[in-house]
Amino acid sequence: SSELTQDPAVSVALGQTVRITCQGDSLRSYYASWYQQKPGQAPVLVIYGKNNRPSGIPDRFSGSSSGNTASLTITGAQAEDEADYYCNSRDSSGNHMVFGGGTKLTVL
Amino acid sequence: QVQLQESGPGLVKPSETLSLTCAVSGYSISSGYYWGWIRQPPGKGLEWIGSIYHSGSTYYNPSLKSRVTISVDTSKNQFSLKLSSVTAADTAVYYCARHTWDGYNNWFDPWGQGTLVTVSS
């Protein structure tokens, strides 16, 4: 079982805002990173650190954290944002990495 | 532009050892960073296997630690994964990625395209 918990599925209307969450005790101490994965493709980093976007990631993607919960927010979701999203951070020991179970985002 | 490419057999027999290599281009492994392996069983989520520092220090997923060895070859600018005593449960797409791991931060970027390894007789 994963030490990071994500909702299995979330949906959002085109152009609306959606928040995908990731819960875990280790998130009180460490930042989460977020990955977008489309079918048949490798994951792509979309958010890392406090709230940083790699080059090429649209600014509609943002990250935040409060207590034991990290969040990925997509402001004005586009059809191309439909994908699986995974959070990643350290486990409670701090010495190992763990991924959340993933959230399937559907854009209606 | 850093690029990673996995290579290795796509079919491994049960009880044998899975061996994969990740070739890195556009960056010298000996210059720094951790380098990691992640896998994804068909239709399932991502699982971290382990990471190696450019100097050779390793960290493994506790659930796989007894079967995993990750090594680095700076002369060839590549790093490798060995997973012993494989079963059908090890069937997955295996990804390699550059791993930034410092302070409160941790992320994997970029990733290789992934390679499917099937465990079957």
Tell me if the bond preceding B110 is cis, omega within 30° of 0: yes
State the DSSP code for A28. Answer: G
- Supply the DSSP string of chain B, one letter for each residue: --EEEEES-SEE-TTS-EEEEEEEESS-GGGS-EEEEEEE-TTS--EEEEEEETTS-EEE-TTTTTTEEEEEETTTTEEEEEE-S--GGG-EEEEEEEEEEETTEEEEEEE---EEEEE--
Mean pLDDT of A24-40: 96
Q: What integer is the mean pLDDT of B39-62?
A: 96
The residue ranking higher by pLDDT, A91 or A88, is A88
- Calculate the alpha carbon distances from A50 to A29, A44, B9, B18 in Å: 12, 18, 39, 37
**pLDDT confidence band for A94 (50 / 70 / 90):** confident
Distance from CA of A88 to the nearest CA of B (A): 7
**A93, pLDDT greater than 90:** no
Quick check: A98 and B95 CB within 8 A? no
The whole-number pLDDT of residue A2 equals 58
**Residue B55: pLDDT band by 50, 70, 90 thresholds?**
confident
Please tell me if residue B66 touches chain A, with a CB cutoff of 8 Å: no
pLDDT: is B54 or B17 the higher one?
B17
Residue B60's pLDDT is 97
CB-CB under 8 Å, A96 with B48: yes
User: So what's the pLDDT on residue B54?
Assistant: 87
- Position B40 scores a pLDDT of 98
Q: Does A96 contact B38 at a Cβ distance shorter than 8 Å?
A: no
Evaluate if residue A1 carries a pLDDT over 60. no
Band the pLDDT of A90: cuts 50, 70, 90. Answer: very high
Average pLDDT along chain A: 96
